Amino acid sequence: MAETLLIAFVVFVVLGMPIGIALGVGTLAAALLYPALNPIIIPTRFVGLLSDSFLLLAAPLFILAGNIAARGGVARAIIDLATVIVGRFRGGLAYVNIVDSMIFGGISGSAVADVSALGTFLIPQMVRKGYDKDFATVLTICTAILAPIIPPSIVAVIYAWMADESVAAIFAGGYIPGLLIAIGMAVPTFVIAKRRNYPREPRPTLRSFAAALRDALPGLMIPIIIMGGILLGWFTPTEAAAVAVVYALTVPPLFYRELALRDLPGIFADSARLSGVIGLIIGLVGAFGWVLTYSKFPFRVAEAIGTFAPTWWLFLLFVIVVYIFLGTFLTPSEIILVTVPVLLPGAQALGIHPIHFGMVCVIASAIGHVTPPVGLCLFVGMAISGLPMERLVRPLLPFLASIIIVLFVVAFVPETVLWFPRLLGFVK
């Protein structure tokens, strides 16, 4: 039963069918071929899954808040603040790029939104200041994967829902890995900037720093409201996302005056389009996962993995390799939705904490945003810069290597994920 389901799914994906439709067709094939099943499970699981989860509503709300912030002047204010903080170093705008993605990732939760919002400003600006266009593009693409790692992360919300774990715990677990990845990308940036003698930005004065901080503060309040409200117990993640949307619609436009009423229909339409794609996949994964569970497939996979990966670190190594491979043709949310029901029982059987396992999955799947041939951030960066993919592959390698090295550190040192959630009382 499970084998029929998976074979049909893989065949249709290889033939170019969208992943959501392939999930539904694979489930339908299994339901038609086996009398024990009934095709009615597809609509019932689809509707039941999406209508019964209040937590899942956080994902489209975070997408909407990020899109409003991206087009409402927040991105420009964050770039100005990062410039006065790190711009004075050699290759200052490259470090600005990294810091911007850390901050903006705490607003949007989306790597694609990060590239779209920050790349439109930073890539042309870096080129005008004398940076190589391929370097500026690759750095912008790679730093964007901080958005799914540093809270609020849409992918982390999906994992928490699938694993039945605390969103606050996995959000808190993303801070140290996100910081480590930012530091990891700063290493090749330092070497390249020194070798190519990239320029420094003017040393800021106390007055310019105060002005940049004052200008950025309305935008910085968005991640503070989200995470502060969740960590203090004032909001659930969904409520925090709703508050962030209301705040992004009202406060930043008053300060930045870059968001007109005529822009709102387009923002809502784009957000609805992306949310609809995620919702379609989640709904069909419900039926897909039900068939897998009914056939006991996840437990058989867990036993099989246990025979050739009998230790927790071998298991995580296997997961990382599989995720990086899947990232070449699937998006992070698709990878999480398809694989977590199968792999999580094996992780728990080996004593891997679900929050630690979840963060490893989030980071490993996020790498797919930047890897050819179908990395979404890669294509957005290509569209902004006008460079073909073959011009970006080689400059991409040092940054990709630094991300993978940090991923191994996070995987094999669980406290990099668990220390902060444990400090806050979310993990025992």
Q: Tell me, what DSSP letter sits at residue 91?
A: T
User: Tokens standing for 247?
Assistant: 């705040």
Q: Tell me, what DSSP letter sits at residue 310?
A: -
The reported pLDDT for the residue numbered 143 is 92
User: Tokens standing for 228?
Assistant: 């502060």
Average pLDDT, the chain: 83
The reported pLDDT for the residue numbered 397 is 93
The reported pLDDT for the residue numbered 67 is 80
Element at 413 (helix H, strand E): none
The reported pLDDT for the residue numbered 137 is 93
The reported pLDDT for the residue numbered 257 is 75
The reported pLDDT for the residue numbered 175 is 93
Whether the Cβ atoms of residue 426 and residue 171 lie closer than 8 Å to each other: no
Q: What is the DSSP string of 205-264?
A: PHHHHHHHHHHHHHHHHHHHHHHHHHHTTSS-HHHHHHHHHHHHHHHHHHHH----GGGH
Element at 20 (helix H, strand E): helix 19-33
High-pLDDT (> 70) share of the chain, %: 89
Whether the Cβ atoms of residue 245 and residue 264 lie closer than 8 Å to each other: no
C-alpha span between 101 and 140 (Å, rounded): 8
C-alpha span between 80 and 57 (Å, rounded): 33
Q: Which residue has the tokens 């005008």?
A: 128
C-alpha span between 166 and 156 (Å, rounded): 10
User: What's the chain's length in residues?
Assistant: 428
Whether the Cβ atoms of residue 169 and residue 238 lie closer than 8 Å to each other: no
| Stated pTM of the model | 0.83
Which portions of the chain are predicted below pLDDT 50? none
Q: What is the pLDDT of residues 252-306, one digit of tens each?
A: 777 877 777 788 888 888 888 877 777 777 777 767 766 766 776 666 666 677 6
- Spans of all domains in the chain: 53-259+295-423
- Strand, helix or coil at 203? coil
Whether the Cβ atoms of residue 55 and residue 235 lie closer than 8 Å to each other: no
Residues 6+ apart with CB under 8 A from 324: 364, 367, 368, 371, 404
Residue 236 burial (10 A CB sphere; 0-12, 13-18, 19+): middle
Read off the amino acid at residue 149: I
The angle at the Cα of 293, spanning 10 to 350, to the nearest 5 degrees, equals: 95
Q: Cα-flanking dihedrals φ and ψ of residue 329, to 5°?
A: -140, 0
